[in-house]
Chains A and B, each alone.
Chain A
């Protein structure tokens, strides 16, 4: 299985901050990398697919970059509704594994 490692595991920030979350794959996955946002008690929501494509309806303050093994999710200016847990997922090869998650908390 391809292992996905996110960093940091948790992050404290304030409204208006720029934050970056990284995701590293244990082997190259091309651009087959998705980012999801999950609020407590809710289903995950797709933010970014194919490493950098913004899902329809997702605000442009979210962006994704990377290819191969190293990827980033950036939120350019945090809004209150962005405090949540973020997961990366590789879909290059099954099983389609997820990172362990990054909890974005209010500072």
Chain B
């Protein structure tokens, strides 16, 4: 059974860096594609980016320059780093993944608020 679990701080100050980790159990992350997706309160889903089987990341243009997705196969984890956050980055952040073209499995989500 594949399970994903996000972890990280629930509160980040404006201009600082948001860092989240997704721990995957049940499969080796090196065999699949893994994504980060976010959802502002009461709004729709926004694709942040993914890291592919080959380890190559791809990011949403709207966040490129501020976002980094990386993977640690030794820990079976992948991570999200978002720099210079503002209130507009307040959202539930989901990690998800498996197939190249669809997210078969999702974490439960973690609410990250940006506030001083």
Contact = CB atoms under 8 A, between A and B. Distances in A.
B44 interface: yes
A98 B44 contact: yes
A1 B61 contact: yes
A87 B60 contact: no
Contacts of A95: 47, 49, 59-62
Interface in B58-116: 58-62, 94, 96, 99-104, 106-109
Nearest to B99: A49
Interface string A29-71: 0001010100000111110011000010000000000000000
Contact of A45 (B45, B59, B62, B106): B106
Number of contact residues on B: which range applies? 20 to 34
A contact patch SS: loop
A87 B103 CA distance: 13
B101 A50 contact: yes
Contacts of B94: 43-44
7 nearest A-B pairs in the assembled complex, by CB-CB distance:
A43-B106, A49-B102, A91-B101, A95-B60, A98-B45, A96-B47, A34-B102
